[in-house]
Amino acid sequence: MVKKKNLQQLLIRYWIGLFVVFFLIYLIAQFFFLKNLTIKAEENIGSKVYVSSSNVEKMLDFADSYIYEAMYNGSTQSPSKLYSSLQSEEDPVKLLETKSAISASINSIVNWSDAIDYILFYTQSDNEPIWIESANGRHYNDKKEVKTLIKDQIEQNDDSTLRRYMVVKGTRQNYMVRIIKFEQSYFVVGVSTQEILNGLSEAATSDDSIVFAADENGDIIVSSADISGSINVLNEGQYVEIGEKSYLQTGYVSDRTGYYFGILTSKDSIISDLWVFRIIFACIAIALLIMAPVSCLIVSRKLITPINLFAGNMNRFSEGNLDITMEDDSNISELSYLIKTFNNMAARIKKLKIEKYEAELESQKATMQYLQQQIKPHFFANTLNIIYSLAQRRDFETIQRLSKAIVNYSRYMFYDTRELVELSKELDYLDCYMEIQEIRYVKQIKVDLNIEDGLRSALVPPFLILTFVENSVKYAFSTQKNCLIEISAHADEKKEYITMIIKDNGGGYPERIIKAYDGKINVEGHVGLNNIRQRLKLIFDDKASIELKNEEGAVTIIKIPCITINDSDFEDDF
């Protein structure tokens, strides 16, 4: 069986599902959008890094070419000839002049190229080390530290540890140097790391980008900002964590130096365009958040509330309230059609019920008239027998009394048995009936009445008591010469029901009559008893009952609703 769900709950689940789907779409879209931005940024920055790295290499090549040109210019004062003279010169004066000439040549190289911060020249003369140095003023300390760190390797002519380009790790920073060797002399050229950074910075796309140069092991040579740890070349095109921020790593491995020149571009700058995307989705989310309760409110007011009202009216209608109609004030065509259909259905059912009720009344009327006709011939047959007997005895005075009693009783006899009468009226005509029976049986029948105060105005069906008194007269008198009939009536504490008891001192009801009555089967040959039961059923439905039993005679217990003539609810209840 399908589990029923509340419409409002379904609507809430729908909105929750919509938000979940929207959030998933947002995550997926953001993922692909970020991926696309990253790829584009990598391609753009990568091409710029390649150009910048190429420019750096050209700068280094140009510095190399200038150094070589200065060394081998073919003049008598070329550095290469001076270097050779320096190694073989023995005259102290000329040796000093040669050193001065070489120093001037080196100074011109340093001052000419921004790519060179300092130059250290080393050679030997008579196994004595000769160092000639030149540096810009701001790089004097750098030159001094590099000389200290590399002196032993140079003087020992340890080519195994010397490379064309190498990194010298100082106490304050790392230095990139170019080693040029010719014959037994060395040029240690301090490459300007600042110029390298300046060249790489041209490829940066944001102010917070970090440009760097790293050696073949990933150790940082120089960077525009502090980078803790080393750089992994394999992370090319991926996001790496530097401090508390993410950066896209893009770089290029120099063919000339073997070093890795790169740029770390902050993720925030790359996804700056993503904020437009996020703002659009945020606006959509806010719109959905507003629409969700608004739509729930609209659906509740325009649909759920009318449906609940409609369901309530249907329940009341099913309980028997046929006067219910619904106002068609809905602007929803389907609901309006439903309301109109309900009103038409209610009107049709009400009409059919009225028609059925009228048909039932006609049927009951015909039934009551039929039952009444069954009673009247029975009574008149008995009274005619009495008159006939009196006429045989020529007792005309008694015939007159009997005729008067018959006339009075006949008025009640022809009373419409569909109507209810006061109990007092039933008892008055009981007196007329008993007078007829006393004439018939010569005062051998006695009736004892015990009616509770206030019940004489209660309404009862005509002949309700008379029928059972007649039955007692007919059967009790046949077994007793003196027949005693006791009639009592009392109400319950709430005055909802009246209980009437008719008891005689005769032989009692035959067992077949009691069983037939208990089984609600018509008793053959007892028209009056059958008529009473059917009339009570027609008038009171299941609210009335009759019990037959024997206790030193026939006992009849009748229970009917307690109704007075002023009872305003009588017509509604019955």
Phi/psi for 560 (5° steps) reads: -135, 160
Task: State residue 427's pLDDT score.
Answer: 92
**Angle at Cα 397 formed by Cα 395 and Cα 402, nearest 5°?**
95
CA distance 118 to 139: 7
> What is the model's pLDDT at position 269?
81
Token output for 271: 């996804």
Predicted confidence at residue 77, as pLDDT, reads 55
Domain 354-573 falls under CATH 3.40.50.300: no
* CA atoms 349, 354, 359, 363: torsion sign: positive
Do 28 and 246 form a contact (C-beta atoms < 8 A)?
no
Per DSSP, 564 falls in state B
Backbone angles phi, psi at 304, to 5 degrees: -65, -45
**pLDDT tens per residue across all 574 residues of the chain:** 456 667 777 778 888 888 888 888 888 888 887 788 788 877 888 788 778 777 777 877 877 777 777 666 554 455 556 666 666 666 777 778 777 887 888 888 888 777 888 888 888 776 678 888 888 777 888 888 888 888 888 878 777 777 888 888 887 788 888 888 877 788 888 888 888 888 888 888 888 889 888 888 888 888 888 888 888 888 888 889 888 888 988 888 888 778 888 889 888 887 777 777 778 888 888 888 888 888 888 877 777 787 888 788 888 877 777 777 777 777 777 778 888 888 888 888 888 877 777 767 665 664 555 445 545 566 677 778 888 888 888 888 888 888 888 888 777 766 665 678 999 999 998 998 888 888 877 777 889 999 998 899 999 998 889 888 888 887 776 666 678 899 999 999 889 999 999 999 888 888 888 887 776 666 665 667 777 888 888 888 889 999 999 998 899 999 999 998 766 444 444 4
Which residues, 6+ apart, have CB-to-CB distance to 344 below 8 Å? none
Q: How far apart are CA 433 and CA 488, in angstroms?
A: 18
Tokens for 177, please give them: 């140097």
Give how far the C-alpha of residue 506 lies from the chain's centroid of Cα atoms, to the nearest Å.
78
pLDDT at 370: 46
| Domain residue ranges of the chain, discontinuous segments joined by + | 36-272, 354-573
Q: Do the beta carbons of residue 146 and residue 154 sit within 8 Å?
A: no
Cα end-to-end span (Å), the chain:
42
Contacts of 33 (CB under 8 A, 6+ apart): 274, 277
Domain 36-272 carries which CATH code? 3.30.450.20
Read off the tokens for 412: 């009640």
Whole-number pLDDT of residue 103: 82
Residue 165 φ/ψ, nearest 5 degrees: -120, 135
Instruction: Return d(Cα 502, Cα 478) in angstroms, integer.
Output: 17
pLDDT at site 340: 85
Residues contacting residue 492 through CB under 8 Å, at least 6 positions apart: 499, 562
Backbone angles phi, psi at 556, to 5 degrees: -120, 125
pLDDT number for residue 569: 47
CA distances from 499 to 119, 123, 415, 450, 452 (A): 136, 145, 24, 12, 10
pLDDT of residue 72: 64
- Can you count the helices (H) and strands (E) in the chain? 15, 17
CA nearest neighbour of 85 among 75, 73, 74, 97: 97
